[in-house]
Structure 1
Amino acid sequence: MIGHRPLRATASLFLALVLLLLGTSRPAHAHANLVRTDPAEGAVLQSAPSRILFTFDEPVRAVPDGVQIFDPQGDPVAAGTTATGSELAVALTERPLEGTIVITWRVVSEDGHPISGALTFSVGAPSTPGIATPPSFSNTVPEVPWVLTLARWLGYAGLLLAAGLVVFTAVFLPAGPGTGRARHRAATLTRAAVALAAVAWTAALPITAVYLLGGGPELLGEGSTWSSLPPAEYAVVAVVVAGLAAAAGLGTSPGSRRRRVAAVAAATAAVIAPALTGHTRAAGPEALVVGADALHLLAGSVWLGGLAGLALTLPALSGHGAAAARTLTRFSATAAAVLVALIATGSLLAWRILGSWSALAGTGYGRLLLAKIALVLAALAIAAWNRWSLLPRVAATKSADRRTSARPVVRATAIEGSILVAALLITGFLVDTSPEAAPARPAAVTSPGTRTTTLGDIAVEATLTPLSRGPNTITLKLRSASGEPAEGVAPPVVRLSSERAPLGAVPLTQVSAGFYTAQVTIPAPGTWRMQVSLRVTQFTNPVGELEFVIAG
């Protein structure tokens, strides 16, 4: 078993590394944000442009039919789209009528989540009295369907359990007489976990494609739906399924050392493949974060698979005290290092994705992460009790009585594993939850066209006039607690949306310190929400939501 000194040395090394990295890192971005458009929002052009350019703050990917253009009559205008890096170019293939043009767009961020919005500009002169709004639009950040979250949870549970059991069987379970029943139990559960992972990861592909396109199951019959997924998504699923199948075939029965090494290698490849997609791709430095995510998955797999393996095999080894003792000793010696790696990489990932300690309580992602941490701490407490209290009792018991004395170990191990499965459920939600802060509650109305909110220590006063369909003016005033003009560490960002038409980010022009203005064309009456975000510190970016009622 591992001693106190090596454990403390390993923990100190990991802690020093994490503190060094955290002290020199910057927070990660979540979804991509629209930085500017050409033409600008609300612009009036003499003639229709041949190309419209959207620029984001991180690379984006176009999806089939993700951009739709409507002329002043509400009729679609043909166009082609190309995404290159952080730019989305829209080439008009036909000349629209003069008047106000509405463009709705939908792209996929680097972290794999879709975002959408709209742009309005006019050719010749704005339409009077207004333009017809297209029938329906998606929200700016569409909600993830529950069936996708379920598929991902089942996929991760099957993946980590299957790979961990392969490692347990190949590394920790000794070969020799008396272990056949234990190996059979482990092999049966491994095959079931492989089947679960294969079905769940494969099923997640079409669900993800439909989610990215913002449609329904009817889209599955179209070839463009399947091409909307990046090749990396298909590659990850292929590696997961093939890797687990190979690992289960090689590692669930006694074999040569080379066979066991090949099984562990295949299981490792399957486990680290998902680290190549998701929120970690939007964090930086990418190599560090992806590597930490891969190590985090590996550590979790070894822990979960080891617990399941112990719970299954210890009863079968109860009549073979030497084999049971070797199994417990081998896993116990590795478990300490695994837990250190799990905690260190989890801390690093939380910092890089969230960006601040306040985000733990201030975002949905952070609160889910706190719940996961609580479960992991509970599992750690049981593991410590198992390691330092129960196992020594078993070791000190005579061989004839070990079957009875091992029962508390088996029960504690089963409880610990159940807690980890619950933590995996939260992981399924984390994969599909944005790390960005949720908008603040709508502020109270101070006058028909003015709303106020507070972002950090800065008071924000937003005015929208004349509150009617068509051209409107936005003014934004930022004030400190003393009433002086204030600024954040970056300019504010304003987004407008309604249930039918998200206009997205509105380009602001700074008039003076703490004073911004913008022109925007609102295409339809009703309740419109203005989201104002301001990075008040390097790590804090609060968001306030204001509501305005637009007359017809």
Structure 2
Amino acid sequence: MTVARPRTLPLLLAVLAAAWVLALAAPASAHATLISTDPAQGAVLESAPERLLFTFDEGVRGVPDGVQVFDSQGGPVDVAASVSGAELRVELDEPLGEGTTVVVWRVVSEDGHPISGSLTFSVGAPTTDFTPPPAEETDTPDVPWSLTLARWVGYVGLLLAGGLVAFLMLFLPAGRDADVRRRPLRVVRVAAVAAAVAWLVALPLSAMYLLDAGAGSLARGSTWGSLPTSEYAVPVAVVAGLTLALTLLGRGETVGGRRSVALLAAAVAVAAPALTGHTRAASPELLVVATDVLHLVAGAVWLGGLVGLALVLPGLSSMGGRGASAAEVLARFSTAAAGVLAALVAAGSVLAWRILGSWSGLVDTTYGRLLLVKIGIVLVAVAIAAWNRWSLLPRLQRAGGRDEAAAVTRPVARATAVEAVVLVAVLAVTGVLVDRSPEGEPKPASAAATADSDPGTRSTTLGEIEVEASLTPLTRGPTTLTLRLRDAAGAPTEGVAPPVVRLASDRVVLGNVPLQPVSAGLYTAEVVLPSAGTWRMQVSLRVSEFANPVGELEFDVS
């Protein structure tokens, strides 16, 4: 049997081009980083400031109650915070008294990720008996799991709807097989509604998650204003794209320009999630976002094609000579599926390379381990697809009559259904990956390092660089932080970028500590530890273009 190949390459290229344009329409950036504060961290001022200034390396968005100021007794101070571009300004509504003041802040980067930290400074002299701010009690619901579920439903519905549109347009054209098309048409409508609802529901869940707030915060307009534009662009593109595609699909015979428009509309909807997520913070941005678009479109074609085959093959096998045969439709999709699978593998490899950055990230990070699980599930789907293509399809093409074709079609339909279920499991892992950071988890200092004779000195190894940190004196109040970087031979060395240090206790988070370079591999900073107890120092060091290990050291402050 000779099966004609549909001339779909120009249309597929147009689909990918349109999705590419969508991804490039809204430039994004990586997480914002605090680069300076006024007053500086740990500063001792002669007089109380009237305002505080935080400067970031890119634009940020303010959040409701995002800034809290506590005086030396741990009491709250009334403030008015505003954001302009990359600056967070805090106006003090009442004068500060002498002693130590702690400022806790939280903003949202333009890429939609929250960042937070704190600033400690003193007026006159540091407080010797500083009272830490009270720990906040919150009734915030378990939003991350709710958001993960919403995104999973959104991804499954979106890729299924977009993929079924492509399947019906490219592999099962209207006209000859109108009766067989009814089942996938019903499924594509249900999937589109589920996708639209899920992405709309994800908006308030994202707001609560990013702002660390409960449902009551949704009554404030400022909560919605804190979400980046890209968060709103995704549901808009999903709803508009799928609505247009389904409208054209429901008009029966769709050929020529109308078919191209329907495919482009579905592609725009499927590509919309590339506007958010880890790909927006990876570099080079153009490559990563375009690859993400390709990954989404290819995944939609694969999932939609499998579900479409499972729905139509039984009906096609019973039609005899009327319309396209089951073997024809399966052969059409199998031919295209090889290219789709190649695109998925290539795109997935590029995304993993740019987001994780190193082979060790596959086993050293939660993100990497989940990615390995995803790869394993995909391999199962590939094995089923190979069995379908090289074992079942030839048997179906050799079938001599309607009864024999029907007998062979049943296992083909079951195999494609199982393969589709496996891909849904892949999307479940994807939904979890969206909310996981690709950065490594902090590694505690080794036992040998924590047993140093000097209790104010701790060390750990990040990559091949030994990091030694000390706090002098190891008491609350003003102290000097010293950080030394050495190579395996004990000589001073540097990472690809300066180290990033964060300090926190169970009650107070000082956030990033501004380090001053002294010489090669030597950094210092003046900080104020407002309370005694266990303080955790998190040190992040980019040791290569792709590797950024993180270590955690503990100090017992008296």
Q: Please give the TM-score of this superposition, normalised by the length of structure 2.
A: 0.87
- Partner residue, 1:426: 429
- Partner residue, 1:13: none
Separation in structure 1 between the aligned mates of residue 367 and residue 29 of structure 2, nearest angstrom: 13
2:191 is the counterpart of 1:193: yes
* C-alpha contact (below 8 Å) 2:112/2:228 kept by paired residues: no
Alignment of 1:230-379 (within 5 A): 230-252=228-250, 254-257=252-255, 258-321=257-320, 322-379=324-381
Alignment of 1:375-394 (within 5 A): 375-394=377-396
Alignment of 1:92-491 (within 5 A): 92=92, 94-136=94-136, 145-177=144-176, 179-252=177-250, 254-257=252-255, 258-321=257-320, 322-400=324-402, 401-444=404-447, 445-446=450-451, 447-491=454-498
2:69 is the counterpart of 1:64: no
Gaps of 5+ in 1: 8-27
Separation in structure 2 between the aligned mates of residue 291 and residue 62 of structure 1, nearest angstrom: 30
Separation in structure 1 between the aligned mates of residue 225 and residue 456 of structure 2, nearest angstrom: 45
- Structure 2 vs 1, CA of residues 399 and 372 (structure 1 numbering), >3 Å: closer, same or farther? same
Structure 1 window deviating more from structure 2 (394-403 vs 67-76): it is 67-76
Gaps of 5+ in 2: 10-27
Aligned to 1:467, the other structure's residue is in SS state coil
Q: 1:43: Cα distance to partner?
A: 1.0
AA partner of residue 406 (structure 1): T
- Partner residue, 2:45: 45
Separation in structure 1 between the aligned mates of residue 4 and residue 430 of structure 2, nearest angstrom: 30
Query: Over residues 191-216 of structure 1, what are the superposed CA-to-partner deviations in whole Å (9 max), with x where a residue is unaligned?
Result: 22122112211111111111111111
Q: Which segments of structure 1 move beyond 6 Å, counting only runs of 4 or more?
A: none
* C-alpha contact (below 8 Å) 1:66/1:105 kept by paired residues: yes
- Structure 2 vs 1, CA of residues 77 and 169 (structure 1 numbering), >3 Å: closer, same or farther? same
Q: 1:442: Cα distance to partner?
A: 4.1
Separation in structure 2 between the aligned mates of residue 422 and residue 345 of structure 1, nearest angstrom: 19
2:82 is the counterpart of 1:81: yes
- Partner residue, 1:10: none
Aligned to 1:468, the other structure's residue is in SS state coil
Structure 1 window deviating more from structure 2 (251-260 vs 314-323): it is 251-260
Structure 1 window deviating more from structure 2 (448-457 vs 248-257): it is 248-257
- Structure 2 vs 1, CA of residues 137 and 96 (structure 1 numbering), >3 Å: closer, same or farther? farther
Q: 1:29: Cα distance to partner?
A: 8.9
* C-alpha contact (below 8 Å) 2:135/2:507 kept by paired residues: yes
Structure 1 window deviating more from structure 2 (153-162 vs 245-254): it is 245-254
* C-alpha contact (below 8 Å) 2:267/2:297 kept by paired residues: yes
- Structure 2 vs 1, CA of residues 246 and 42 (structure 1 numbering), >3 Å: closer, same or farther? same
* C-alpha contact (below 8 Å) 1:30/1:353 kept by paired residues: no
- Partner residue, 2:18: none
Separation in structure 2 between the aligned mates of residue 357 and residue 60 of structure 1, nearest angstrom: 32
Residue in structure 2 matching 1:503, options 480, 490, 510:
510
The Cα RMSD (Å) is 2.6
Separation in structure 1 between the aligned mates of residue 143 and residue 284 of structure 2, nearest angstrom: 27
Aligned to 1:406, the other structure's residue is in SS state helix
Separation in structure 2 between the aligned mates of residue 356 and residue 29 of structure 1, nearest angstrom: 21
Aligned to 1:112, the other structure's residue is in SS state coil
Structure 1 window deviating more from structure 2 (112-121 vs 153-162): it is 112-121
Aligned to 1:145, the other structure's residue is in SS state helix
AA partner of residue 308 (structure 1): V
- Structure 2 vs 1, CA of residues 419 and 252 (structure 1 numbering), >3 Å: closer, same or farther? farther
2:496 is the counterpart of 1:493: no
Q: 1:83: Cα distance to partner?
A: 4.2
Query: Over residues 137-159 of structure 1, what are the superposed CA-to-partner deviations in whole Å (9 max), with x where a residue is unaligned?
Result: 99xxx997111111111111111
- Structure 2 vs 1, CA of residues 532 and 143 (structure 1 numbering), >3 Å: closer, same or farther? farther
Query: Over residues 253-303 of structure 1, what are the superposed CA-to-partner deviations in whole Å (9 max), with x where a residue is unaligned?
Result: 622314433322221121111111221221233233222211211111011
* C-alpha contact (below 8 Å) 1:137/1:502 kept by paired residues: no
Aligned to 2:444, the other structure's residue is in SS state coil
- Partner residue, 1:24: none
Separation in structure 2 between the aligned mates of residue 513 and residue 2 of structure 1, nearest angstrom: 67
Q: 1:365: Cα distance to partner?
A: 1.5
Residue in structure 2 matching 1:538, options 542, 545, 550:
545
- Structure 2 vs 1, CA of residues 282 and 439 (structure 1 numbering), >3 Å: closer, same or farther? same
Aligned to 2:157, the other structure's residue is in SS state helix
Structure 1 window deviating more from structure 2 (121-130 vs 190-199): it is 121-130
Q: 1:2: Cα distance to partner?
A: 9.7
AA partner of residue 226 (structure 1): W
- State, as a whole percentage, how many aligned pairs show the same letter: 62
Structure 1 window deviating more from structure 2 (229-238 vs 302-311): it is 229-238
Separation in structure 2 between the aligned mates of residue 313 and residue 456 of structure 1, nearest angstrom: 54
Aligned to 2:223, the other structure's residue is in SS state helix
* C-alpha contact (below 8 Å) 1:317/1:324 kept by paired residues: yes
- Structure 2 vs 1, CA of residues 109 and 2 (structure 1 numbering), >3 Å: closer, same or farther? farther
Separation in structure 2 between the aligned mates of residue 58 and residue 429 of structure 1, nearest angstrom: 28
Report how many residues are paired.
524
Aligned to 1:489, the other structure's residue is in SS state coil
Aligned to 1:503, the other structure's residue is in SS state strand
Separation in structure 2 between the aligned mates of residue 89 and residue 122 of structure 1, nearest angstrom: 19
Q: 1:540: Cα distance to partner?
A: 1.5
AA partner of residue 458 (structure 2): R
Q: 1:407: Cα distance to partner?
A: 2.0
Separation in structure 2 between the aligned mates of residue 281 and residue 375 of structure 1, nearest angstrom: 25
- Partner residue, 1:514: 521
